[in-house]
Copies of this chain bind each other. A is one copy, B any other.
């Protein structure tokens, strides 16, 4: 099976998951303010909603980019690959929920629980992204015939670290939630850089041929 319809479905889930959060911003407006507060005050105290919106949107956007990079190396899909992808999308679409929990509770009593929930979600995302990649790459099962071996090895090396990194940061979050939240958000947002380098290398190598 070719990967076209898979990408349509995946892009749909990415787009919806990223966009839906505006509803959450909308419905939580003013829940932070006492009754009768001015709109200006409501807008100010709702800043955690905006942070959650921005971080969620960018996190999902970056995962979309990386998924794109991975799919560029893949020639076709089989049913197991599709099932793993469905599981992966399920976890990705879940990300906005713990992100908002962290944004709204980081200064309150629920900070620790929220950050751990956020860490577990990101760890699961990394695990399933690894499952997608290694299922496709093991023995070149689903890779394109012209996939660059060095690029493939490079992606494998970086991806394999992800779950352990997020798991470690989740443990950190259980001890110090502020450090954990910053670490988790940081890697969710800059996790794209590594694959960026692969793509650049790949392009240079291609151009050099």
Contact = CB atoms under 8 A, between A and B. Distances in A.
Interface of A: 1, 5, 7-9, 11-20, 22-27, 38-40, 43, 53-54, 57-58, 61-62, 64-65, 68, 72, 79, 82-83, 86-87, 89-90, 93-94, 96-97, 100-101, 105, 109-110, 112-114, 117, 192, 196, 199-200
5 contacts: A12-B12, A18-B93, A43-B101, A57-B90, A61-B87
Q: Which 6 A-B pairs have the closest CB atoms?
A: A39-B110, A12-B15, A61-B86, A40-B113, A57-B90, A16-B19
Contacts of A94: 22, 25, 53
What is the oligomeric copy number?
4
Contact of A5 (B11, B13, B100): B11
Contact of A12 (B11, B109, B113): B11
B93 A22 contact: yes
Contacts of A13: 15, 18-19
Given A9-B64, A13-B19, A79-B192, 6 more contacts: A1-B68, A40-B112, A40-B113, A58-B90, A65-B83, A79-B199
B9 A9 contact: no
A9 B15 contact: yes
A68 to B, nearest CB: 6
Given A9-B11, A11-B8, A93 B57 contact: yes
Contacts of A114: 39
Nearest to A79: B196
A146 to B, nearest CB: 16
A58 B89 CA distance: 10
A110 B87 CA distance: 30
A20 B23 contact: yes
